[in-house]
Amino acid sequence: MGSSSTYSVVLNLSFLVFIFFLGSSFASFSSSSLSSSSLHPLVFNSKVQHLNYTAISEFRVVNRRFLAECPHLSPYLQISINSTTSGLGDEEFLSVNVSGVLNPSKDDWVAMISPSHSDVSSCPLNEILYAQTGDLSKLSLLCHYPVKAAYMSNDPDYLSCKKKECKKYRNGQCLVSTCGGALSFHVINIRTDIEFVLFSGGFEAPCILKRSSPVRFATPNKPLYGHLSSIDSTGTSIRLTWVSGDQKPQQVQYGDGKKQTSQVTTFSQDDMQSSALPSPAKDFGWHDPGFIHTAVMTGLKPLSSFSYRYGSDSVGWSNEIQFRTPPAGGSDELKFLAFGDMGKAPRDGSTEHYIQPGSLSVIQAMADEINSGHVDSIFHIGDISYATGFLVEWDFFLHQISPVASRVSYMTAIGNHERDYIDTGSVYITPDSGGESGVPYETYFPMPTPAKDKPWYSIEQASVHITVISTEHDWSQNSEQYQWMRRDMASVDRSKTPWLIFMGHRPMYTSAEGLLSVDPKFVFEVEPLLLQSKVDLVLFGHVHNYERTCSVYKSQCKGLPVKDKNGIDTYDHSNYSAPVHAVIGMAGFTLDKFPTGVNNPWSLSRISQFGYLRGYATKKEMKLEFVNADTRKVEDRFRITKASTSN
């Protein structure tokens, strides 16, 4: 049997060949990872460099433009922000006002820059750095990537000049009048000061018109974005991780007067990876992450509610938050939610480098479930934030998941957009992490893994044993991870935890088309182990839809569900035949449609809607439901039953 390291070498050679041919064929190159909109011809000048992006659009390559001088600058031009003198709050919708515009254009736009001292002019010293990328003339527009941007035409009164001001009179007559407009930006506390820059020329050929004054956050050291995770199967301890601008240890205070002091870590630009092609994380996508604090709350009771707050007297405290501990392994009932491929989306009308449009509705639907008390834990199986080297977007993601991740255990698996990068040890040599190579992910989401960059683990909650793997690390039969999987699943006590769920990122089965949607090598190496271990349910993401299989092995249905009295598909695992697989990568990223005319016999349910999987397990059965996040309706449901808890 071949190893996955050999497979990586083959992929690496293929990648180098791909780069070579790209220079002559980029204009005709297309794939599902590229933007569906056409690209401006100037993008062609940066064709090779953009292999280090996970998608291409006009905005995503704005820093690769020529910096032109804006002609006919208005002497009346102003850009201002409605902030208070004390600074920005932790979250607000900031009004950015532009006035004194002589000729409003549909190509006028505003960028939010952080930190404010970032150079948004040309970068002559970067010519050497980028010469290897194919950009051989004047290279950069923005030496630092915008956090977000919006066209002034988002204000419907801008182009029509309804906000007209007279700037020059003669004999009571207005000789010069100007136009203006306003944009609303959703701003969260990212610790570094921000500035807004007015451009013209669109994203394709921009030039600077005006910069605002810098504005600072009132409390840049404020402890924020706390999220919970389990450290073991007892339900008596839970980890809290949060972000602050201060490196001094802080505390979590919880329960009846208990407290724990945080351990503090961070990562630097030097920890990011690059190659012959500069990565966003190493270069213009870098943003200082502040300091990541983590503390373990101990002495808790399983399946119980507690309150906590975190911070210190010197930097301030979070609000008091109510959270629920998960059930202990070996108990009966577990209520959980699971999904993959969420990411984040702006809450304003702005453009970001990578937007996952379904993420907001999915988070809101899950938050409502948590508020109703019907969730014990959450599992997010890969493609977490889609920051992909634009580090400030981790803050926006952590802010987005706070309503759920601060309330219940939020467990994760690593995906290609967290880990994969060339020559860093990942199985796949795509640049999908943008140079992050798993470092931010493992810092923000510490899981009970055996060691750094070994992101596999297992945990038991109530009647379920959950094995979580990395599809991005070596899974071949001679690998450390494979041997761990084998031992872990062989050790499951089915009298204590009768259900075995296997989770990872890349799937073994999908009807969707796409390059590397399914890796036959991964299936060949790992699928027999799932059958041998009598895995009941396999959950994967990566493909952005929902699909459920029969009890499947080697693409053959070994067992079919039968309808119970309520018409629900029911798999009887008292007479085990093979695992049931479900792809659940529909939590945010733009959905993958199912191809017409493709009817795989193992595929029983296919839905291309945003949502999540809702699970309820007892020692006798597991009930699973796909919930449409927009309608809140259950669009697929199935049961797995077992009359006996023996092996």
Residue 124 pLDDT > 90, yes or no?
Answer: no
Tell me the mean pLDDT in the region 304-315. 98
Find, among 553, 594, 551, the residue nearest to 572 by Cα. 551
**Lowest model confidence (mean pLDDT) among 82-91, 298-307, 592-601, 623-632:** 82-91
Q: Quick one: pLDDT at residue 523?
A: 98
Number of domains in the chain: 2
What local confidence, expressed as pLDDT, does residue 431 receive?
A: 86
**What mean pLDDT comes out for the span 49-56?**
46
Among residues 179, 211, 243, which one ends one of the domains? 211
| 226: pLDDT strictly greater than 60 | yes
Whether the Cβ atoms of residue 96 and residue 79 lie closer than 8 Å to each other:
yes
Is pLDDT of 126 > 60?
no
Give the confidence band of 514 by pLDDT, cuts at 50, 70, 90: confident
pLDDT at res. 276:
78
Is the link from the previous residue into 115 a cis peptide, with omega within 30 of 0?
yes
Q: Is residue 569 part of a domain?
A: yes
Look-up of token digits 């190893």: 3
For residue 29, the model assigns a pLDDT of 29
Q: How far is CA 95 from CA 84, 111, 182, 202, 452, in A?
A: 12, 13, 6, 21, 43
pLDDT at 127 over 70: no
Tell me, what's the pLDDT at 56?
54
Whether residue 479 lies inside any domain: the answer is yes
In angstroms, the CA 19 to CA 166 distance is 55
pLDDT of 574 strictly over 50: yes
3-state secondary structure (DSSP) of residue 463: coil
Provide mean pLDDT across the span 282-295: 93
Return the biggest CA–CA distance within the chain: 97
- Judged by average pLDDT, the poorest of 134-143, 185-194, 331-340, 393-402 is 134-143
The least confident of 31-35, 50-54, 82-86 is: 31-35
Domain span including residue 78: 41-211
Round the average pLDDT of the chain to a whole number and report it: 87
What percent of the chain clears pLDDT 90, i.e. is strictly above it?
75
Q: What is the pLDDT of residues 432-469, one digit of tens each?
A: 999 999 999 999 999 999 999 999 999 999 999 999 99
Same domain, 355 and 487: yes
Q: Is residue 299 part of a domain?
A: no
| 227-242 confidence digits (pLDDT tens) | 999 999 999 999 999 9
How far is it, in rounded angstroms, from Cα 82 to Cα 156? 20
pLDDT of residue 121: 55
Percent of the chain residues past pLDDT 70, beyond the cut:
84
Strand partners, 310: 252
Q: Is residue 33 part of a domain?
A: no
Say whether 628 sits in a helix, a strand or coil: strand
pLDDT at 283: 83
For residue 625, the SS3 value is: strand
Q: Are residues 369 and 506 in the same domain?
A: yes
pLDDT given at position 66 = 55
Structure tokens that stand for 279 in this block: 């990565």
Please calculate the CA angle 619-620-624 and round it to the nearest 5 degrees: 95
Residue 373 domain flag: yes
- For residue 199, give both structure tokens: 């451009």
pTM of the model: 0.89
pLDDT one-digit tens code per residue, 175-214: 999 999 999 999 999 999 999 999 998 887 788 899 999 9
* Mean pLDDT for the stretch of residues 262-270: 97
Residue with the bigger pLDDT between 224 and 431: it is 224
Residue 32 has pLDDT above 60, yes or no: no
CATH number of the domain that residue 529 is part of: 3.60.21.10
At 202 the pLDDT is 86
**66, amino acid identity:** F
Question: In sequence order, what E strands does 212-290 have?
Answer: 224-230, 238-244, 251-254, 258-261, 263-265
Residue with the bigger pLDDT between 355 and 141: it is 355
What mean pLDDT do residues 572-597 have? 96
What whole-number distance in Å separates Cα of residue 317 and Cα of residue 224?
9
End position of a domain, from candidates 211, 246, 276: 211
- Name which of 21-35, 439-453, 509-523, 621-635 the model is least confident about: 21-35
As a whole number, mean pLDDT of residues 555-572 equals: 97
| pLDDT reported for residue 117 | 66
Determine the average pLDDT of the residues in 260-266. 98
Asked if the structure places residue 67 within a domain, the reply is yes
Q: What are 377-405's pLDDT values in tens digits?
A: 999 999 999 999 899 999 999 999 999 99
pLDDT digits (tens, 9 = 90+) for 410-426: 999 999 999 999 899 99
Residue 640: band (very low, low, confident or very high) from pLDDT cuts 50, 70, 90: very high
Report the alpha-carbon distance of residue 379 to residue 585 in Å, rounded: 12
Q: How confident is the model at residue 352 (pLDDT cuts 50, 70, 90)?
A: confident
- Which is more confidently placed, 114 or 16? 114
> 458: which 2 tokens?
């297992």
480-490 helix and 520-532 helix, angle to the nearest 10 degrees: 20
In a domain? residue 472: yes
Look at residue 145 in the predicted model and tell me its pLDDT: 76
Residue 282 burial (C-beta neighbours within 10 Å; 0-12, 13-18, 19+): buried
Residue 109 has pLDDT above 80, yes or no: yes
**Apex 100 CA angle, 98 and 103, nearest 5:** 100
Last residue of a domain, one of 211, 235, 250: 211
Contact 274, 439 (CB under 8 A): no
**pLDDT at position 218, please?**
95
Give domain status of residue 181, yes or no. yes
Q: Helix or strand or coil: residue 600? A: coil
